[in-house]
Amino acid sequence: MKNRQDKITAEEKFYIATQWQLMWRKFKKHKLAIFGAIVLFIFYFVAIFCGFFSTQDIYKRHTKYIHAPPQRIHFFDEEGFHLRPFVYGLKRKINPVTLRRTYSEDRTKKYPIYFFIRGDKYKLWNLFPTDLHLLGVKEPGTIFLFGTDKLGRDLFSRNLHAARISLSIGLVGVALSFILGCALGGISGYFGGTADMVIQRVIEFLMSIPTIPLWMALSAALPPHWPPIKVYFGITIILSIVGWCGLARVVRGKLLELRQEDFVMAAKIIGATDGRIITRHLLPSFLSYLIVNITLAIPGMILGETSLSFLGLGLQPPVVSWGVLLRDAQNVRTVVLHPWLLIPGLFVIVTVLAFNFLGDGLRDAADPYK
Amino acid sequence: MLSYVLRRFFYMIIVLLVVSITAFVIIQLPPGDFLTSYIMKLKASGQIVDEAEIAALRKQYDLDLPIHLQYCQWMWKMLHGNFGKSFEWNRPVKDLILERLPLTVTVSLFTLIFTYLLAIPIGIYSATHQYSVGDYAFTVIGFIGLATPRFLLALILMFVSYRYFGLSIGGLFSPQYQLAPWSGAKFIDLLKHLPIPVVVIGMAGTAGLIRVMRGCLLDELQKQYVITARAKGVSERRLLFKYPVRVAINPIISTIGWTLPRIISGQTIVAIVLGLPTIGPLLFRALVNQDMYLAGSSIMILTFLTVIGTFISDILLVWLDPRIRYEKQAR
């Protein structure tokens, strides 16, 4: 038996491969998609353990370091190379006329960076209290890898915590859209007739409304006294009100197309039940399209949340998301003085790019005719 | 053709009705009615509000009626050009919106033209020079354009021009023309300020359309009639523009119905960041201050713009594409 399996040639393997194996093979060739997948994996991994990866508590105010620039990690000093990286201290100067603070590196103070260091207390997933951080410096040193904001809070840690909210809102929103889209698209494609007509008109209507004004109005209507968690779900629901349309269209189109395929007819003639036809024959043949569409719908949700929070209509501080962080960058003059406030924007762009690359690769892989 | 236009027109009216209901619901959404917040505001500023005045105001805004009658009253007044009053600005909503409507339409139209003028040639280039350096460059720019939130692009442009050129961009007019009456010089000033908002708003749409155009044209170029024409010795240029481009442009034109909402939607947020005197910032301030008549009317006008724009584009499409024209006639 083993001997025979060894003899299967590459060509034979191609013919006996399942649909998913074939897709994986095509997907692997798409370099950008692999790159996107790796980036997203890292982002989500860091976001899940954001407390561990951040260097300090996100609400801790360093009143001596307001709008401090990012500190650079050094390996070299005047003595030469050090295996253990370090940061220099910050020297603050206040301009007596404009009261502007400027910071410069204080070469006399050197703070080595330690790994797996005990620092500020936090709760992992709100459950396990711990104080272990990936990296940090010992008191009285400071480490601001992305600088600090107007209250002197560490932006590196805040960005990581924001990633958790911003990245998850896309997933939750898409999950909601997915349920709505499958249900309504399924009804539309399966039953046809009046139900189909009504649902199609509703989709056309929703797609003809400019989304941002609608989102703005709906999120402005969220009661201001709601707790953050409720606002979070409120925003995801608002985002998926428009989001389900695209998915419903795909489901309906595919159902209509597949119903008339020969293999469905064949299964019917053999006497397969409706349930078996749906689960064994219909679902696998358009599941890949659904996955592609979901992947491509997530960035829209992330952009939506970022825009709303940026305007101050979405999530509210003390919750941090990339959009909430970008609110500090609303004023151009502030941004010119403190360009590191734009870092969250960079994360948004990279995340959305990665999702688009991944979606593109998946789409090529899922298309059996290419 | 006429029956199609009529049917499409009828459909548009229904959509507009649904839009008005949506806008009305949005006005009603905040807890309490808008009068309560108005009275709160008056009280907060130390004014005395007596009961009779409140009752009179309630009557004036039909708040004493049941909700469906309120809607009818609101619609009726709107059909007569009465959009209600903005509490924050203390002016009729109609005036506020009319002031900003022409510029909103101008910016949207310019963006639409920009999007198509850029997307179609680049799409054609990318498809005919597939996997060339230019194609890759446009693909990368396109992806980044799709991935950058528009408000961030606006911020970055403002940052760059302020930091490196010492210019503060934003707005649609230089200060000296802000309040000046319309003149040739003011118009030229407007044209000078338009490029940045137009590029920022149109970026994502252009990037998307380039992908669509490229994909459609690539599909079309592989078809047998193209090979036949090439075998017969038709020049490449003629071959390209005579059939495949015309076929590939169709889906682009027909997605105008989706491009327009995107432009209006993008314009809203970009206008807030860049401080353009369009309806977007008006809506934003109205929402923040719970100035609900103004907010509802702004949303309605923005949506009307897209719905009417889509209607016009649909008619144009039928007129342009004989296949749709005949199909409609055959029915």
Both B200 and B167 in one domain: the answer is yes
Q: Does A217 touch chain B (CB under 8 A)?
A: yes
Mean pLDDT score, A121-128: 75
Query: What pLDDT score does B330 carry?
Result: 47
Query: What pLDDT score does A165 carry?
Result: 87
User: Is residue A2 assigned to a domain?
Assistant: no
- Count how many domains chain A has: 2
What are B155's two structure tokens? 């911020």
**Chain A residue closest to B153 (CA)?**
A345
Query: What pLDDT score does A137 carry?
Result: 77
User: Is residue A39 assigned to a domain?
Assistant: no
What are B137's two structure tokens? 């460059």
Alpha carbon distance A297, A175 (integer Å): 10
Of A96-105, A191-200, B228-237, which gets the smallest average pLDDT? A96-105
With both helix axes pointing from N to C terminus, report the angle between B292-320 and A211-220 in degrees, rounded to the nearest 10. Answer: 160
Both A148 and A188 in one domain: the answer is no
| pLDDT for A1 beyond 60 | no
Both B75 and B108 in one domain: the answer is no
Nearest Cα neighbor of B204 from B138, B285, B147 is B147
Rg (CA), chain A: 26
User: Is residue A28 assigned to a domain?
Assistant: no
Both B60 and B162 in one domain: the answer is no
Mutate which: B150, B214, B269, B305, vs A, most A CBs within 10 A: B269
Quick: pLDDT tens for B268-316: 888 888 888 888 888 888 887 777 778 888 888 888 888 888 788 778 7
Alpha carbon distance A238, A227 (integer Å): 17
Closest Cβ–Cβ partner in B149, B269, B283 for A348: B149
Q: Does A211 touch chain B (CB under 8 A)?
A: yes
What are B303's two structure tokens? 């949506």
Q: Which residues of A touch B150 (CB under 8 A)?
A: 307
Closest Cβ–Cβ partner in A213, A329, A352 for B265: A213
Mean pLDDT score, A334-339: 80
Both B126 and B70 in one domain: the answer is no
Residue A338 belongs to a domain with what CATH number?
Answer: 1.10.3720.10
User: Is residue B94 assigned to a domain?
Assistant: no
Of B79, B112, B129, the residue that ends a domain is B79
Asked whether the beta carbons of residue A333 and residue B19 sit closer than 8 angstroms, the reply is no
Q: Does A159 touch chain B (CB under 8 A)?
A: no
Closest Cβ–Cβ partner in A212, A221, A342 for B265: A212
| Interface contacts A/B by beta carbons within 8 Å | 125
Q: Which residues of B touch A336 (CB under 8 A)?
A: 159, 162-163
Both B121 and B248 in one domain: the answer is yes
Nearest Cα neighbor of A238 from A291, A176, A328 is A176
Q: Which residues of A touch B302 (CB under 8 A)?
A: 210, 213
Query: What pLDDT score does B263 carry?
Result: 84
Which amino acid is present at A107? R
Of A265-274, A275-284, A331-340, A357-366, which gets the smallest average pLDDT? A275-284
| pLDDT for B224 beyond 80 | yes
Mean pLDDT score, B157-183: 74
Domain of residue A68: give its range: 59-152
Asked whether the beta carbons of residue B287 and residue A357 sit closer than 8 angstroms, the reply is no
**Nearest CA distance, A260 vs chain B (angstrom):** 23
Q: What is the DSSP letter of A148?
A: B
| CB-CB contact of B190 with B172 (8 Å) | yes
User: Is residue A196 assigned to a domain?
Assistant: yes
Asked whether the beta carbons of residue A330 and residue B306 sit closer than 8 angstroms, the reply is no
Query: What pLDDT score does A160 carry?
Result: 86
Both B227 and B310 in one domain: the answer is yes
Asked whether the beta carbons of residue A311 and residue B272 sit closer than 8 angstroms, the reply is yes
Asked whether the beta carbons of residue B156 and residue A330 sit closer than 8 angstroms, the reply is no
User: Is residue B16 assigned to a domain?
Assistant: yes
Query: What pLDDT score does A282 carry?
Result: 76
Both A337 and A309 in one domain: the answer is yes
Partners of A129 in beta bridges? A123
More confident site: A73 or B110? B110
Q: Does A218 touch chain B (CB under 8 A)?
A: yes
Q: What is the DSSP letter of B175?
A: G
Q: Where are the beta strands (DSSP E) in B80-198?
A: 85-86, 91-92
- Count how many domains chain B has: 2
Of B18, B46, B79, the residue that ends a domain is B79
A153-163 burial string, b = 16+ CB within 10 Å, else e? bbbbbbbbbbb
Nearest Cα neighbor of A52 from A121, A108, A141, A110 is A121
Both A310 and A335 in one domain: the answer is yes
Query: What pLDDT score does B322 carry?
Result: 66
Most confident of A289-298, A306-315, B19-28, B117-126: B117-126
Of A117, A132, A152, the residue that ends a domain is A152
Domain of residue B155: give its range: 100-330
User: Is residue A37 assigned to a domain?
Assistant: no
- Percent share of chain A, pLDDT over 90: 0
Both B42 and B184 in one domain: the answer is no
Of B79, B110, B130, the residue that ends a domain is B79
Quick: pLDDT tens for A75-87: 777 777 777 777 7
Both B243 and B200 in one domain: the answer is yes
Rg (CA), chain B: 25
**Nearest CA distance, B171 vs chain A (angstrom):** 14
Q: Does B257 touch chain A (CB under 8 A)?
A: yes
**Nearest CA distance, A212 vs chain B (angstrom):** 5
Q: Does B284 touch chain A (CB under 8 A)?
A: yes
| Window 16-45 of B, Cβ < 8 Å to A | 18-19, 22, 26, 29-31
Both A219 and A340 in one domain: the answer is yes
Asked whether the beta carbons of residue B147 and residue A306 sit closer than 8 angstroms, the reply is no
ipTM of the prediction greater than 0.85, yes or no: no
More confident site: A346 or B253? A346
More confident site: A367 or A228? A228
The CA-atom distances, in angstroms, between B110 and each of B97, B182, B184, B196 are: 20, 19, 18, 11
Closest Cβ–Cβ partner in A210, A307, A342 for B303: A210
Both B72 and B186 in one domain: the answer is no
Chain centroid to CA B86: 23
Q: Which residues of B touch A345 (CB under 8 A)?
A: 148-149, 152, 155-156
Mean pLDDT score, A215-224: 80
Asked whether the beta carbons of residue A208 and residue B298 sit closer than 8 angstroms, the reply is no
Which amino acid is present at A41? F
Helix (H) or strand (E) holding A107: strand A101-112
Give the number of residues written for chain A: 370
Residue B191 belongs to a domain with what CATH number?
Answer: 1.10.3720.10
Alpha carbon distance A176, B289 (integer Å): 30
User: Is residue A45 assigned to a domain?
Assistant: no
User: Is residue A54 assigned to a domain?
Assistant: no
Q: Does A207 touch chain B (CB under 8 A)?
A: yes
Of A129, A152, A175, the residue that ends a domain is A152
User: Is residue A351 assigned to a domain?
Assistant: yes
Asked whether the beta carbons of residue A352 and residue B272 sit closer than 8 angstroms, the reply is no
Both A172 and A244 in one domain: the answer is yes
Both B115 and B261 in one domain: the answer is yes
Q: Does A349 touch chain B (CB under 8 A)?
A: yes
| CB-CB contact of B247 with B220 (8 Å) | yes
Mean pLDDT score, B142-150: 83
Asked whether the beta carbons of residue A208 and residue B307 sit closer than 8 angstroms, the reply is yes
Q: Which residues of A touch B287 (CB under 8 A)?
A: 216-217, 220, 313
| pLDDT for B329 beyond 60 | no
Asked whether the beta carbons of residue B151 and residue A217 sit closer than 8 angstroms, the reply is no
User: How high does pLDDT run on average in chain B?
Assistant: 79
Both A217 and A144 in one domain: the answer is no
Both A204 and A348 in one domain: the answer is yes
| CB-CB contact of A138 with A111 (8 Å) | yes
Q: Does A313 touch chain B (CB under 8 A)?
A: yes
Q: Does A224 touch chain B (CB under 8 A)?
A: no
Alpha carbon distance A115, B60 (integer Å): 69
Q: Does B148 touch chain A (CB under 8 A)?
A: yes
User: Is residue B9 assigned to a domain?
Assistant: yes
Confidence of residue B33 (pLDDT cuts 50, 70, 90): low
**Nearest CA distance, B229 vs chain A (angstrom):** 25
Of A96, A131, A152, the residue that ends a domain is A152
Query: What pLDDT score does B166 carry?
Result: 67
| pLDDT for B142 beyond 80 | yes
What are A71's two structure tokens? 């500190």
User: Is residue B59 assigned to a domain?
Assistant: yes
What are B60's two structure tokens? 């004036």
Alpha carbon distance B268, B151 (integer Å): 10
Q: What angle do CA B260, A358, B206 make, to 5 degrees?
A: 25
Look at phi and psi of residue A67 and say left if phi exceeds 0, alpha if psi is from -120 to 50, else beta: left
Both A97 and A163 in one domain: the answer is no
Mean pLDDT score, B234-257: 79
Query: What pLDDT score does A367 carry?
Result: 67
In the three-class reduction of DSSP (H, G, I as helix; E, B as strand; rest coil), residue A89 is classed as strand
Mutate which: B268, B285, B304, B305, vs A, most A CBs within 10 A: B268
**Chain A residue closest to B141 (CA)?**
A353
User: Is residue B84 assigned to a domain?
Assistant: no
**Nearest CA distance, B14 vs chain A (angstrom):** 10
pTM of the predicted structure, to 2 decimals: 0.81
Both A65 and A140 in one domain: the answer is yes
Closest Cβ–Cβ partner in B147, B287, B310 for A208: B310
Both B75 and B104 in one domain: the answer is no
Q: What angle do CA A326, B306, A175 make, to 5 degrees?
A: 55
Query: What pLDDT score does B98 carry?
Result: 85
Quick: pLDDT tens for B151-167: 888 888 888 887 787 66
User: Is residue B15 assigned to a domain?
Assistant: yes
Query: What pLDDT score does B311 carry?
Result: 81
Both B15 and B148 in one domain: the answer is no
Confidence of residue A7 (pLDDT cuts 50, 70, 90): low
Phi, psi of B311 (to 5 degrees): -60, -50
Q: What angle do CA A283, A293, A31 make, to 5 degrees?
A: 110
More confident site: A296 or A354? A354
Counting Cα atoms < 13 Å in the Cβ hemisphere of A139 gives 4
